[in-house]
Amino acid sequence: MARQKSTRPPFVSPYITSWSEEVDPPCRLVEIPGRGIAYADETVTDRDQRGVLWLRTPYRPGIGRPVFGKVHPLRQRRAMSRLLCQVCGGSADHDDNGVLWLARDWRDDWPDWPNGMGENEPPVCLPCVRLSMRLCPALRRGAVAFRARRFPVAGIRGAQYAAGPRFVGDVTVALDDPTIPWIRAANLVRRVSDCTILDLDEICG
């Protein structure tokens, strides 16, 4: 008897992962006196609706090889904005207890964690929690699944510059931070609260 092939697509890499052909192109940053930084040849697509300047990373998913550990800025922003699963790119899981997230476990370092956390990793769907826990050794050593009822967009993470412009360092700041005009963003951040921690063994079966 012929063996029926699975209709589930093979796992390649998480949706938000960068690929080797998605290399940031050369660019020249300039200082706008008293206002912040800009690209010398800036276009309307370089900033979001809040006026935040973003990395110019090409969109070429599936071309080359996945660069695990490096997040693609546009796909991360899209997943965070639309509450998409960071692994498959479909809708994240959502029920009466909130949207589902999978994160490293910091409960020993932060009382009441994850409430109040600025989360820059998008949420997940239930099948991808199981997939991630099966394929990622780091998560098996210390991960937590939780649902958040409140998760407003609260900030950005990116490279901060000073006059010159001169690179200062990587920062995470709130959307009302006065330094935002000096930051080239790479990640959108949501602040999670009203959280419920879940039983991973139950989720993963």
Query: What pLDDT is attached to residue 136?
Result: 72
Would the CA dihedral through 99, 102, 103, 104 be positive or negative? positive
Q: Residue 60 pLDDT more than 60? A: yes
Instruction: Record the tokens describing residue 61, joined without a space.
Output: 């998913």
Q: Residue 19 pLDDT more than 50? A: yes
Q: What is the DSSP letter of 203?
A: H
Report the SS3 class of residue 154. strand
Confidence of residue 12 (pLDDT cuts 50, 70, 90): low
CA distances from 39 to 25, 53, 160, 183 (A): 12, 9, 14, 12
Question: The whole model's pTM is what?
Answer: 0.88
The per-residue pLDDT for range 62-85, each reduced to its tens digit, is 999 999 889 999 999 999 999 999
Residues 198 and 161: beta-carbon distance below 8 Å: no
The per-residue pLDDT for range 161-182, each reduced to its tens digit, is 999 999 999 999 999 999 999 9
